[in-house]
């Protein structure tokens, strides 16, 4: 089993620094209220929120395949779940940041023809943070 603390402390920090360079402002992990939901809105922790709150990102560090070389269905479901939360946060820009190039390409194929109109726009926002190796 992978030590996910390494992913949180190293790779997500690296991605937040990459986003800072890309967008010109600091990013931090933050809980935000969901909008367009039934009942009293709850919060969700987003991995990278810009200082002005206009840009919200979810970071997925997973590889496409499991250690057994099979499609990681739990990893894929996690990415779909993050798309759901991105669709329900009030921000002018929302991104799903995938750090594994194979995951980017496979998830593009996986989501083709499967996303609703409001979510399909995130397909073009699958941004790989090049040069990240999820190792200790």
- 129: pLDDT strictly greater than 60: no
Cα(84)–Cα(1) distance, integer angstroms: 26
- Contact call for residues 136 and 3 (beta carbons, < 8 A): yes
Residue 73 has what pLDDT? Answer: 83
* Architecture of the domain delimited by 4-128: 3-Layer(aba) Sandwich (3.40)
For the chain, give every domain's residue range.
Answer: 4-128
Tokens of 52: 């002005």
Residue 119 has what pLDDT? Answer: 66
Tell me the backbone φ, ψ of residue 28, rounded to 5 degrees: -140, 155
Tell me the backbone φ, ψ of residue 49, rounded to 5 degrees: -125, 130
Cα(25)–Cα(78) distance, integer angstroms: 27
Give 20-77 pLDDT, tens digit per residue: 998 999 999 999 999 999 999 999 999 999 999 999 999 988 778 767 777 778 888 9
Residue 9 has what pLDDT? Answer: 75
């Amino acid at each position: 089993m992978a030590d996910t603390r390494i992913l949180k402390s190293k790779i997500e920090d690296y991605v937040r620094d990459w986003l800072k360079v890309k967008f010109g402002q600091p990013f931090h992990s933050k809980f935000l209220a969901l909008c367009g939901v039934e009942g009293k809105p709850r919060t969700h922790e987003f991995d990278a929120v810009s200082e002005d709150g206009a840009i919200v990102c979810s970071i997925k560090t997973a590889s496409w395949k499991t250690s057994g070389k099979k499609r990681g269905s739990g990893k894929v479901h996690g990415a779909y779940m993050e798309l759901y939360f991105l669709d329900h946060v009030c921000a002018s820009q929302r991104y799903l940041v995938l750090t594994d190039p194979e995951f980017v390409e496979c998830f593009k194929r996986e989501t083709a023809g499967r996303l609703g109109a409001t979510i399909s726009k995130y397909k073009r926002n699958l941004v790989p943070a090049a040069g990240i190796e999820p190792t200790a």
